[in-house]
Amino acid sequence: MEMEEVNQEQENSFSFSNYWPSIAIVGAIFSLVSFVIGLYFGYQQINSEPAGSFISPVMISSGVICLATAFAGMIAVWHYTKEVSPFMKLGQGALVGFLTGAAIIIFSTVLNELWLLIDPEYTEKLIEATIANVEAMDLPQDASNEMVDAMAQSMGDQSFFKQIFIGIPIPGLLNMATAMIGVKIFAKKKDEISF
Amino acid sequence: MKYKALYAGVLFGLILLVLFSLGSGLWGGSADLHWTDQLFSGVCHQIPNRTFTFMGELMAVNTRCFGIFSGLLAGWILIPLLKDMISEKKWPLICLLFAGLLQIIDYSGNLFLLWENTNSSRFLLGLPLGILSSIVIADLFQST
């Protein structure tokens, strides 16, 4: 009887504020991990001789970061089902996933901005090292110039809000997808609960 | 079918995802870095020789990402057809894990020079990962 009441209470207690701890905790952890990985590979790129290889530290880090952060939505759903309520509808999972992706972008953008206070020349050194690597590649001059220009623009100074505005949609959608898989794996089915 | 609004919303998002990933060939050129390239720069390395071209221009994502995004859309379109077939079955999840494992094996093999993958092989390996990521949740759309 008591257990039934608890379950009923859990079903009825969905409110937006219940999601935030899972979104914030998982978002903060994943953004910190992706920031540290990015920094590690970034300094590796800066301190290495330009090898002219397509598989440079920066390229490896982008693959690793993408793969790792895409699972944040799933982990946020797991955290929610473990700590708040075992019941979750698909739409709620999708929302948690998207917001977790957004949280990662916001936190990691803040961390990157803070790092520039510690090492103001980091971005400049990274651009120079990446361009040196591209120039050492065996590419036609036009392709090389195009790639250098694109890299300089994408890695160069962008406003804080532009980074967030452009950065959120795609990781948000990918985390939404993994969060829905998380609902399938971790959440109990209670179709009656209203969103 | 349950969650029709969610299904339609995600379908719309995935169509945009694939259309944006086609890059400047579809959306028009730009003297500066194209906005579609900026959109995907956080999730894809966008190495030119690992990227398909579309209408004479490089796509905004590499071939593996394009395979995954196309697969996500294709799988999502298949959900209404498969939702009853997938019901309570474990095989989609096992296949999804296998498809994910294949990416890691292929990426590592290429990284450690055990073999050299191609644009086509990367696209073809990305495609099932995307398809399975979508259809693994198909049964959640099943009406009770």
* Of B41, B111, B134, Cβ closest to residue A154: B41
pLDDT digits (tens, 9 = 90+) for B96-122: 999 999 988 998 888 888 888 899 999
Beta partners for residue A188, in sequence order: A87
Tally the domains of chain B. 1
**Residue A3 above 60 pLDDT?**
no
**Contact (Cβ atoms closer than 8 angstroms) between residue B59 and residue B53:** yes
State the ipTM, two decimals: 0.89
Q: Is B72 on the interface with A (CB under 8 A)?
A: yes
pLDDT of residue A1: 46
Mean pLDDT of the A65-75 span: 86
User: What single-letter amino acid sits at B22?
Assistant: L
**Residue B54 above 50 pLDDT?**
yes
A185: closest CA of chain B, how far (Å): 9
User: What single-letter amino acid sits at A53?
Assistant: S
**Residue B31 above 70 pLDDT?**
no
Mean pLDDT of the B43-48 span: 83
Mean pLDDT of the B84-106 span: 87
Instruction: Please provide the average confidence, as pLDDT, over all residues in chain A.
Output: 83
Mean pLDDT of the A97-103 span: 95
Instruction: Give, for A166, the enclosing helix (H) or strand (E).
Output: helix A160-167
User: What single-letter amino acid sits at B128?
Assistant: P
**Residue B48 above 70 pLDDT?**
yes
pLDDT of residue A63: 75
User: What single-letter amino acid sits at B29?
Assistant: G
Res. A142 pLDDT band, cuts 50 70 90: confident
**Residue B77 above 90 pLDDT?**
yes
The rounded distance, in Å, linking the Cα atoms of B65 and B127 is 9
Could you say which residues from 43 to 62 on chain B have a Cβ atom under 8 Å away from some Cβ of chain A?
43-50
Of all residues in chain A, what percent carry a pLDDT higher than 70?
86
Exposure of B85 in the CB half-sphere (CA atoms within 13 A): 9
The parent domain of residue B128 ranges over: 4-141
Scored b (16 or more CB within 10 A) or e, B102-113 reads: ebeebbeebeee
The rounded distance, in Å, linking the Cα atoms of A184 and B139 is 9
pLDDT of residue B111: 80
CB < 8 Å to A90, chain B? 2-3, 6, 137, 140-141
Locate B28 and state its tokens. 């028009």
